Amino acid sequence: MDEMTIIFSAFLNGMGIVFTVPVFSAMMIGIVAGMIVGLIPGLGGLVAHILLIPFALQLGDPLAAIAMLLGVYAVTSQTDSIPAVMLGVPGTAAALATSLDGYPMAKRGEAGRALSASYFASIFGTLVATVIFILFLPLLRALVTKFSSPEFFMMVVLGLVMAASLSGRSQARGLLMAGLGLILSTVGQAPGTGDPRFIGPFLYLWEGVPIIPVLLGLFGVPEIIDLAARNRSIATSAPVKKVSGLWLGMVDCVKDWWLILRCSVIGVVTGFIPGLGGTVAEWMCYANAVASDKDKDSFGKGNVRGIIAPETGTAAHLPGAVIPTVAFGVPGNPPMAVLLGVFVILGVRPGQEMLTYKLDETFMMVNVITVGNIIAAALCLVFQKYLVKLCYVRASLMVPFILAAMVIGAGFSRLSLGDIAFFAGAGIAGYVFKHLDWPRVPLVMGLILGGIAEPYFFASIDRYGISWLYARPIVLVLEVMIIFMLFSTPIKAFAARLWKSGVRSEGSKHGDNT
């Protein structure tokens, strides 16, 4: 069969899986839960995503579990534009650009236009990203067949180094956190030999450090503590009442198809690069929209292109981040790192298989995001008036329930009190890390990727000795990229210091002469 026929048939099969009863119902639960938890002040999509994991794993069907989590993942970029437009308060950092133009439009009486532009931009963004994925799949499949254990190992290292370098303000801290995650990933049975490592007298640790309580603690607890400490809702002003011009928003999106296409490409690329995430995609697209517009002054005052561009970028980055996760086991963003952890628990192995024998399942994941986005847009259009009310819910009412859900979820990991102990430790650590700018994403990526990298490392040494480090072209290319990522920041800093000192000495010479 010809390559494109295989891909299209996998696409259709993947779509078929999405509409099977268990997968579709799980996806719908994910969408609804994502819409509600994602809108709760201060929590956002990642926490919603993590909160649902323990419950998704209890479903007993790996595809349904993945669909549920991807359902949450797909809707957050839709719902966060509701408070951004109606209240001028971005519920998440990723909706900040949308609020810049969305709220002025809403105040002008064009809330409906702004919201529908945001929903349709998201839909078009994911659709274009899916098409890009299909078009690049033959290339990706050809590339991945050239990959063996050494290449996969180096890809994981590259992913970690990129995430460590790009998340947070200090590369050294990112690397340290990634290293800490890697160290923790070695606790438990050694792959290949079965020897117990670093478990001491605790048999609980035989299976390694539990991922779910650590995720809940690191990402959920700090948000809950801050939410409780503020003890208020994100909304302080009344929402804009008049929601009109829904049709106009869609027309705007169709008219600005070229902007949507450009922003989709930006979104896919930023999704593909580990550590960048939706916020970077959003601002890059916003900057692109401003740069390409003749009326630059209208941005920030209610230009609809200022909504279309960031929403397209954030939506397109979602399927974009799935690609490296399933193809190379390198997550493109934090929710994908979490999903990779779920893959590990469910026994789903990213890599060549996902682009060959299991291509249907890969397409199911991409299609869940697209279908989820369309359903979420429809639900948002119908229920936006009610959804915005969630932004007014007091923290004092929410916090005990969310904390309770976290404790229950953490306890479901291995059904042991050890889970609760890890949850507590990770919660305290997460709070400290969050407020002192120690990035938590590289830590989680290290913890998850360590378990994937070590078998590749073993297999590489067993098959090729150490010759794989210098005798394989793809490994060499990846090594150059890793070295570049590692040393570009210190070199830039050194060059800047040299430049500054040069300018200073020039200045003092000039001063002496005069």
Partner 1 sequence: MAITPENNLQPVDRNQSIAFGRRVDWIVSMIILIIGIAFIIMLQSLPGRATIFPWFITISIVFITATYVYGKYRNKAVWDELYDPDTKDGDEMADTGPAFVLAHRRGVLISLGSFLLVVAMTMVLGPEYAVPLFVFGSLLARKENWILAVLSGIGLWVIIHFVFGDMMRINVPVGFLFGGFN
Summarize as ranges the residues that interact with partner 1 (CB under 8 A). 42, 44, 58, 90-93, 96, 169-170, 172-173, 175-176, 179-180, 182-183, 186, 190, 192-193, 195, 197-198, 221, 224-226, 228-231, 234, 396-397, 399-401, 403-404, 407-408, 411-412, 415-417, 419-421, 423-424, 427-428, 431-438, 450, 453-454, 457-458, 461
Spatial distance between the Cα atoms of 420 and 412, rounded to a whole number of angstroms: 9
Q: Which of 166-170's residues contact partners 24+ apart within 8 Å by CB, and which partners?
A: 166/273, 166/274, 166/275, 166/276, 167/275, 167/277, 167/439, 167/441, 167/442, 168/437, 168/438, 168/439, 168/442, 169/437, 170/437
Spatial distance between the Cα atoms of 16 and 11, rounded to a whole number of angstroms: 9
- Least Å distance between CB 401 and partner 1? 6
Q: b/e for 439-452, b at 16 or more Cβ within 10 A?
A: bbbbbbbbbbbbbb
- Least Å distance between CB 351 and partner 1? 19
Tokens 């938890």 label which residue? 37
Q: Which of 439, 433, 430 is nearest to 171 (CA)?
A: 439
- Least Å distance between CB 461 and partner 1? 7
> Which one, 135 or 493, has the nearer CB to partner 1?
493
Identity of residue 3: E
> Which one, 54 or 320, has the nearer CB to partner 1?
54
Spatial distance between the Cα atoms of 157 and 165, rounded to a whole number of angstroms: 12
- Least Å distance between CB 3 and partner 1? 37
> Which one, 58 or 513, has the nearer CB to partner 1?
58
> Which one, 134 or 228, has the nearer CB to partner 1?
228
The pair of three-digit structure tokens given for residue 444, joined into one six-digit string: 């989680």
> Which one, 142 or 404, has the nearer CB to partner 1?
404
Spatial distance between the Cα atoms of 465 and 461, rounded to a whole number of angstroms: 4
- Least Å distance between CB 186 and partner 1? 5
> Which one, 109 or 179, has the nearer CB to partner 1?
179
- Least Å distance between CB 447 and partner 1? 12
**How far is the CA of 308 from the CAs of 101, 178, 246, 260, 369, in angstroms?**
10, 35, 14, 7, 19
> Which one, 54 or 313, has the nearer CB to partner 1?
54
- Least Å distance between CB 42 and partner 1? 6
Spatial distance between the Cα atoms of 305 and 308, rounded to a whole number of angstroms: 5
Residues shown for the chain: 514
Spatial distance between the Cα atoms of 302 and 109, rounded to a whole number of angstroms: 11
> Which one, 85 or 123, has the nearer CB to partner 1?
85
- Least Å distance between CB 303 and partner 1? 22
